Chains A and B, each alone.
Chain A
């Protein structure tokens, strides 16, 4: 497809993601189900026929209620999951700011974890050595580099995780509600870093419940509801529609409970 595939960072083509709910994880449950010839668990669609494109350098917010398929979308972009139907194309190196420090080993020191986590994100040894000082500077954790991370406070843990992720030189940055990392000062620093990425032309996908974040950072927003894409427009109109959606559902719940 020569039509500007160079310009597209993320392309979802009719993507559905099906999960099986009650999973039979032992052979005792699997074999009888197989013999009876029935599906051994009920399917559930986290995403249904979702298509959208994100251009290189674009910042896009993904908005939706809990269970709307936001996290599944991020996982598909991150390559952690494969779509059940449709195609997901991702061009460039992805760095997920999803649950920072997921790869940290509690017994290892800060230094060792920087190396481990950076190599998980795809950095080479020489790149890690070159960026190491920047990573520690940004996290402001010089005195704790030889301390096992299990002694870290949760704020320190997140700061180190964030710092490694943003120094991994991503083409695409996935941000999932982590803008409030540590104290207000550090939070400012993170936002500044994300702005810097935007200026450098890094593609950014932000999942957020906060309309402010989406309005401040994103040129476009995508609204998901029960796994379906409702709208992919300007942040203002998407947030407006999102609010209506929430109000309507609250009204329904209110009517049912009264």
Chain B
């Protein structure tokens, strides 16, 4: 045992009961919620500082993507969009995708980016990727205004099945955090990771039904798509928001299982690598 004892008390009881250390640290995060909040505010304040449009930039990206992609995929290439006009269909997939991809990129860089802090004072390092992702939640909430406007424009009011959205988002959030944690840690050891994440995200975008509906995917590839959590999430969002149906519960639980497993493994790996962070900066 070479790990130093930081806070006596509660931790030892947990350890005595045989609860793994990383589960205890996960629970202890609740005590550092103030820090998580302040870090998130720090990111938000810093993000669009000294830009004229300021926070409106959080809307520019998804809006311009939506306009161009709608032109390309519904005017030039006529992709069918079941249940809703293409722009709306696309945007319901694009929003959660953008949240995922921006979270993963920002989260991967979050620990390297805070190197001056990491070498000087100890705090649970997972706060850094978590705060980076929370910042993207705020971006997502802003960008959701466009979704509301689109739904109003097309006269497509959500029905009561929309109450599933927060739960679906929670599952997506867990997956995103779980995947970001080990990448943020690995990025300290190998700076290749950030470039790898960039490449992976570009490819991932195309194998996820964002610009096309899942129905047009040939039968023999469906299983592969069901193992892609992003595909599960986006299909579920479309079902509850556009087709006004409850989620496919089998697939929702599959998504939940993948997310929880990803988070546990990801957090475990992160905590495993954490003691070496300051050495690598």
Contact = CB atoms under 8 A, between A and B. Distances in A.
A25 B120 contact: no
Contacts of B123: 120-122
Nearest to B35: A119
A189 to B, nearest CB: 23
B121 interface: yes
Contacts of A119: 32, 34-35, 37-38
Most A-side CB within 10 Å, residue of B2, B4, B31, B190: B4
A108 B278 contact: no
A187 B249 CA distance: 65
Contacts of A79: 4, 6, 122
Q: How large is the interface on B (under 10, 10 to 19, 20 to 34, 35 or more residues)?
A: 35 or more
Given A26-B190, A26-B191, A107-B45, A88 B121 contact: no
B118 interface: yes
Contacts of A25: 189-191
Interface of B is mostly: helix
A245 interface: no
A222 B8 CA distance: 26
B190 A112 contact: no
Given A25-B191, A75-B278, A108-B45, A80 B2 contact: no
Interface in A87-145: 87-91, 93-94, 96, 98-99, 102-103, 105, 107-108, 112, 115-116, 119-125, 128
A108 B190 contact: no
A57 interface: no
Interface in B2-41: 2-8, 31-32, 34-35, 37-39, 41
Interface of B: 1-8, 31-32, 34-35, 37-39, 41-42, 45-46, 49-50, 116-123, 189-192, 275-276, 278-280
Given A78-B122, A82-B276, 20 more contacts: A23-B280, A25-B191, A30-B190, A75-B119, A79-B6, A80-B120, A81-B275, A82-B4, A83-B4, A87-B4, A93-B7, A99-B120, A102-B116, A103-B120, A103-B121, A108-B42, A112-B45, A115-B38, A119-B37, A119-B38
